[in-house]
Chains A and B, each alone.
Chain A
């Protein structure tokens, strides 16, 4: 009885030892030589595989940096910190000065403030909704609120609001621009992380048209541009936009002067 256990124990141990040696031999003999730097670079990248760099994922980007000499600093989620680490590993000097950018929905129109043309009953996706007359909102530039961006966001930074729009949490946003690419109305735009004000409208319609269909749309009246020339607001195609590189004097005044309150403070 005892001998059976001993024999079984010994034979299985022997077999295990043999196979283990085989594996150890194969690991040495058949090893694929990998540049150590690839592993180091991959570790220096954030590892969320968002694809914002244009490569298939962090591993593919690391491989491309080392073997193909791809540009360092293409990784917005990693930002300056990761780019510095990578350049240290690669022994390259980096002049990385880009500010951290985050996505922001440039529209405040919702069920109460904006006119709707019809009731949309279809596939729950902005890219599908836009096939029908450019969406159910009378304004063809606004946020459709069905959340194509929510589906592509790799870090769940975007959520639906109760009033039929979506919002980006700027602290969670890694700036990968996936939502900017998928948004059919291009209402999702990138702004600096530390931006103080933004224009919450994306409509290129003429002022009269905007007035008819939305109470919070930019009507292109140019008050912000003319009365506050130092603030950085510029009106082109009936839409005000903010130049974040400007001095930004008295943006608060411009926001207060805006007749439709489409210049909003970022909290």
Chain B
């Protein structure tokens, strides 16, 4: 067996808690009666609404166009009538416009299946199309990174002039505790992911493909390896030691190709492109079946959820419907988080919609929470030891707390990935990551 690897500095080992949902096969959620589709589901400029109240839309039709360079198109997840265009706040505190679509009563899964079917006798689209044609398909399908940050994929796959990609690194790490959506994706759609990898490999013209998977998902490693061997491909599956935040692309690159992304830079500067398995599957759907990104797998889990599981939900489905599909709450949750427990956003409105970046819904009971009060920093340095980016959280927080944002910038505040290792390990319970988010905001405001 291949030797397991990991990134060299920092990182933590929180309880995985993945057994709650990692054996639950993905279930297709019924389509919502009304879908609330936000226009800002990705990093960058929000899409502009291009339908009006009263219009009838078909599933897969573009309802929001992302016109600036870093933006993505938004498609209707269901067929129906546009009831309203409203302003909502998403769990990650982004205020955005949203198109409310009332679903037709005749609309169901078979409509989507008939519309987006892979032709059995189709000549291989990856061999047939050029890399630019493939990228424009991805752009048209509104594919974004599905690991959480939701960076528009067509921008990522467009290798800038003068740069060369040596590696395509596939991110199957899923280092966030509780989440299992990528794990289920790799088990249930292995062949599709490999087709998707072939398409992306052609887009970026990378000679080598490495798939990084943490070894708490050995079944996925084996399944991937077998599927690759069956097809006679040369992709490498690299098992990784379990350590958070290995799923951050910078740490993943340190672990699998031993190259470090320079401060403030992008992976392409060291000749690598990183993509999450969820996005690869979305690329597969776009290239082989023409289906835009209108649904995603969401893990609904946590001790307050009756039957934790993984669900294929249409974008715009309310989180309430997801929770109900998982059997509802066993008790009133003390905290609900969109995303994983480390980097997710705590929110309160169950009527918030699922977006392209919603990897999980986590409902925690009061017992899961730590209510110990915040005390003074004793400069123990634990946060410095675990910071994977090599920053000094203790010093940074002190500067920000005193309003000295310029000095914090000099200590590379902007390199903070907000992974939460420092706050997790802090014995004084200081809200370090929140402080850094605040510091970044104030520093941007000043400059």
Chain A residues proximal to chain B, CB less than 8 Å: 117-118, 121-123, 125, 127-128, 131-134, 151
28 residue pairs A–B, Cβ–Cβ below 8 Å: A117-B348, A117-B349, A118-B346, A118-B348, A121-B431, A122-B434, A123-B401, A123-B431, A123-B435, A123-B438, A127-B438, A127-B441, A127-B442, A128-B434, A128-B435, A128-B437, A128-B438, A131-B93, A131-B434, A131-B438, A131-B441, A132-B93, A133-B89, A133-B347, A134-B89, A134-B93, A134-B95, A151-B403
Chain B 411-447 near chain A by CB (<8 Å), digits 1 or 0: 0000000000000000000010011011001100000
Residue of A nearest to B440 (CB): A131
Residue of B nearest to A132 (CB): B93
> Hey, which chain B residues are within 8 Å of A131, CB to CB?
93, 434, 437-438, 441
Minimum distance in angstroms from B131 CB to a CB of chain A = 39
Chain B 86-112 near chain A by CB (<8 Å), digits 1 or 0: 000100010100000000000000000
Indicate if the CB atoms of A123 and B89 lie closer than 8 Å. no
> Hey, which chain B residues are within 8 Å of A151, CB to CB?
403
Chain B residues proximal to chain A, CB less than 8 Å: 89, 93, 95, 346-349, 401, 403, 431, 434-435, 437-438, 441-442
Please measure, in the bound complex, the distance between the C-alpha atom of A236 and the C-alpha atom of B287, giving whole angstroms.
51
> Hey, which chain A residues are within 8 Å of B401, CB to CB?
123
Please measure, in the bound complex, the distance between the C-alpha atom of A152 and the C-alpha atom of B275, giving whole angstroms.
44
Minimum distance in angstroms from B336 CB to a CB of chain A = 10
> Top 3 A-B pairs ranked by shortest CB distance?
A128-B438, A122-B434, A118-B348
Please measure, in the bound complex, the distance between the C-alpha atom of A118 and the C-alpha atom of B434, giving whole angstroms.
16
Please measure, in the bound complex, the distance between the C-alpha atom of A122 and the C-alpha atom of B437, giving whole angstroms.
11
Minimum distance in angstroms from A112 CB to a CB of chain B = 20
Residue of A nearest to B434 (CB): A122
Please measure, in the bound complex, the distance between the C-alpha atom of A123 and the C-alpha atom of B442, giving whole angstroms.
14
Residue of B nearest to A121 (CB): B431
Please measure, in the bound complex, the distance between the C-alpha atom of A132 and the C-alpha atom of B437, giving whole angstroms.
10
Minimum distance in angstroms from A177 CB to a CB of chain B = 16
Please measure, in the bound complex, the distance between the C-alpha atom of A117 and the C-alpha atom of B351, giving whole angstroms.
14
Minimum distance in angstroms from A230 CB to a CB of chain B = 36
- Besides the contacts A117-B348, A121-B431, A127-B438, what 15 more A-B pairs have beta carbons closer than 8 Å? A118-B348, A122-B434, A123-B401, A123-B434, A123-B438, A125-B438, A127-B441, A127-B442, A128-B438, A131-B437, A131-B438, A133-B89, A133-B348, A134-B89, A134-B95
Minimum distance in angstroms from A123 CB to a CB of chain B = 5
Minimum distance in angstroms from B192 CB to a CB of chain A = 37
> Hey, which chain A residues are within 8 Å of B347, CB to CB?
133
Please measure, in the bound complex, the distance between the C-alpha atom of A247 and the C-alpha atom of B444, giving whole angstroms.
43
